[in-house]
Structures are given as structure tokens and as C-alpha cells.
Amino acid sequence: MSSAESSANPQAQEQKPFTLEVDVNVVSVTAVVFDKAGHFIRGLGPGDIQLLEDGVRQDVSYFREASSQGGERIPLSVVLVLDNSGSMGPNMRFLQEAVLNFVYKLEEVDQALVVSFNESVKGSADFTGDTDRLERFVEGMQAWGNTSLFDAVQYSLGRIKDQPGRKALVVFTDGDDTSSSTPEREVIDYARSVEATVYSIGFKGQPGLFGGGSRGFMKKIAEETGGAFFFPDKVGDLIRIFQSISEELKNHYLLSYTPKRDPDGSWRAISLKVTSRADAQVRVRKGYFAVKRRRPPARPAPPKP
């Protein structure tokens, strides 16, 4: 429609969307709570926990157990970030089997994206719940080239940051980064700003491939985001590890609060204590950057037929 037509049509002017930017300073926290045996602790309520920001107690405005029955399930968006560099040749089939096992356990509301990396980074087209599409991508992976681990994680964080529901990355590699253009520190900082939990698996495959560099990175990014890291010695452990990650992604608590301090761009540390159980252990992201965010303008309703 031309500008002249728009001016001459009062109905078109009425349909112009009203936009209003509203400050949104609510902080969301995903918490995994387990006992000393590693079993998820169910049935907690807001009265069982104490949430602190920079050591100051916060008022929890929303609290929900994701695994509880009767409510609408919180959707999961997950990126599987998979090393298919040349060193993976002997173990590619084991990785593919473990990943497909994970994919088949996704529920109807869940969506996944697969990112493979060697000296380049390649992602499946879009987030999808279509297991056949995901299977074809995973089955098509071939081992060759170097290892751009940092580039792959940075790319994957960018793909997931605007997804709804719970967000997670599962990162697998068998060696140190050898070809990324993105610095490690930049990836860690980006991960701290994206509300996604990172689970990292560093397989000690061929001797000498996994030195201190990427191992430290994998451990750090998991700890910063409230995830977990694994360093299996045997390729046969991969199925068990992927299964344990799958279970954890379905068993967690989702909390939110409005900070008592206004956003000022600073880093804020988050901690969560379970006051009702002495044996409870908690994993949450370590904190966030308190940047003032704005809600995107509401989309106009479609015109009535």
C-alpha cells in the first residue's frame, strides 16, 4: 500500500499498532536441587528456599517445579553442539548413538537444533521437534578437519538466546580448540549474558588431544551457567551421560524475582539456599549483568476477515 493510499484509508490508520516499551527487570533463575546421592529433590515450595543477589535476600515472585504434575509443561530448547573434527573418526558412531538416544527422549513441546563443528561450524536449519530431521543431520556427520570449539559455542548461544522456555546447550568435544577466531574469554562472557544452561562433555579420546586449555573452558562455562561438566574416559559412557543430562533437563525449578537494586550494568552474583533440607545441593547460574532491558513492542492482532 502506498503512502497516499494509507493516508486516504482511515481503517488502515486504525489498524496501525500501538507500541509501548516497558522496562522489564525481572530475573529468571533455573535451579537444579539434588541430594548427596545425586537424586533430584522434588516437592519444594517458595518457603523452602532463600534467594540472594549479591548477598541480599530477594522476594521470589514466581516459583514452579518443572517436573510437577498437572500444569502446562515448560518447553525446552536445546542445542546439541557436536565435535566432528578428524580425531572423532574412530568414535563418531558412539557419539551419534548417544545423541540420537537423547533426541528420541524429547517431548512434544521441546525443540532442538544440532550444530556440528570442525574447522567450520554448521547448524541444522531451525529449531524443530521433528526427530526425523534431527536424525538425518546427526547421521550425516563425518569426521574431518580441525576443532573450532569456541566459534561453535558462540554461534550456538546466539541461536538459542531468544528461544522460549528453558534453554540449554549440550557441548561435546574430544580435543582442544585449534582453529577458532573467537577468544575463549568472549565466549564465557557471552554465556553469562544468555539465560542458557551449558552441559559440557570432554571426551579424552586420542592421547595428547585434550590439554588444559579446552578442559578448563568446558568446566568454566558449565559452572558459570549452572550446568554440569563430564570428562569420561570411555566412549561407552556417552549414552549414560546424555541420558543423565536428558533427565536433569526435565527436573528443575524455575524462579523469578525483581531485584531490589535498579539495573546499573554491573555483574550481580546469584545464590540459592534450601533452608528446609540440610542435605540439599543446588546448581544455579552464578549471576547476570544487570542491564536494563526493554520489552519488544506488541505485535498487532491480525485483521478480522
Residue 301 has pLDDT above 60, yes or no: no
pLDDT of residue 125: 85
- Same-domain status, 182 and 113: yes
3-state SS track over the chain: CCHHHHHHCHHHHHCCCCCCCCEECCEEEEEEEECCCCCECCCCCHHHEEEEECCEECCEEEEEECCCCCCCCCCEEEEEEEECCHHHHHHHHHHHHHHHHHHHCCCCCCEEEEEEECCCEEECCCCECCHHHHHHHHHCCCCCCCCCHHHHHHHHHHHHCCCCCEEEEEEEECCCCCCCCCCHHHHHHHHHHCCCEEEEEECCCCCCCCCHHHHHHHHHHHHHHCCCEECCCCHHHHHHHHHHHHHHHHCCEEEEECCCCCCCCCEEEEEEEECCCCCCEEECCCEEECCCEECCCCCCCCCCC
C-alpha cell of 146?
A: 580441525
User: Is residue 211 in some structural domain?
Assistant: yes
Digit-coded pLDDT (tens) for 238-297: 999 999 999 999 999 999 999 999 999 999 999 999 999 999 999 999 999 998 765 544
Model confidence at 123, in pLDDT bands (50, 70, 90)? very high
Looking at the structure, tell me whether residues 95 and 233 fall in a common domain: yes
Q: State whether 53 and 176 are in the same domain.
A: no
Specify if 14 maps to a domain. no
Cα torsion angle, 255, 259, 264, 270, sign: negative
- The yes-or-no verdict on residue 145 having pLDDT over 90 is yes
Average pLDDT score, the chain: 87
| 166 domain residue, yes or no | yes
Domain residues for the domain of 232 are 76-250
- Is the pLDDT confidence value at 20 over 50? no
Same domain as 133, residue 85: yes
The answer on 276 and 146 residing in a single domain is no
Are residues 130 and 63 part of one domain? no
Q: pLDDT tens digits, residue range 44-93?
A: 999 999 999 999 999 999 999 987 555 677 899 999 999 999 999 999 99
Per residue in 150-169, pLDDT (tens digit) is 999 999 999 999 998 899 99
300 belongs to a structural domain:
no
pLDDT at 2 over 90: no
Q: What tens digit of pLDDT does each residue of 176-190 get?
A: 999 999 999 999 999
| Residues 239, 129 share a domain | yes
Question: Residue 222 above 50 pLDDT?
Answer: yes
8-12, 37-41, 92-96, 267-271: segment of lowest average pLDDT: 8-12
Q: Residue 239: what pLDDT?
A: 95
Residue 303 pLDDT grade (very low, low, confident, very high; cuts 50, 70, 90): very low
In this structure, are 159 and 61 located in the same domain?
no
Check residue 286 and give its pLDDT.
97
Is residue 286 assigned to a domain? yes
Residue 236: the pLDDT is 87
pLDDT level of residue 32 (50, 70, 90 thresholds): very high
pLDDT of res. 196: 97
User: Considering the domain boundaries, does residue 12 fall inside one?
Assistant: no
User: Would you say residue 117 lies in a domain?
Assistant: yes
Question: Does one domain contain both 95 and 161?
Answer: yes
Q: What pLDDT score was predicted for residue 13?
A: 37
What's residue 156's pLDDT?
98
Q: Does 148 lie in the same domain as 50?
A: no
The answer to whether residue 7 scores a pLDDT higher than 50 is no
- 133 with 194, same domain? yes
Domain membership flag for residue 87? yes
CATH number of the domain that residue 160 is part of: 3.40.50.410
Per-residue confidence (pLDDT) for residue 162, from 0 to 100: 94
At 3, the pLDDT band (50, 70, 90 cuts) reads: very low
Task: Examine the domain organization and report whether 208 and 232 are in the same domain.
Answer: yes
- Regarding beta strands 60-65 and 253-257, do their DSSP bridges make them parallel or antiparallel, or are they unpaired? antiparallel
Res. 17: pLDDT tops 50: no
Q: Which of 250, 270, 286 is the last residue of a domain?
A: 250
pTM of this prediction? 0.85
User: What's the domain count of the chain?
Assistant: 2
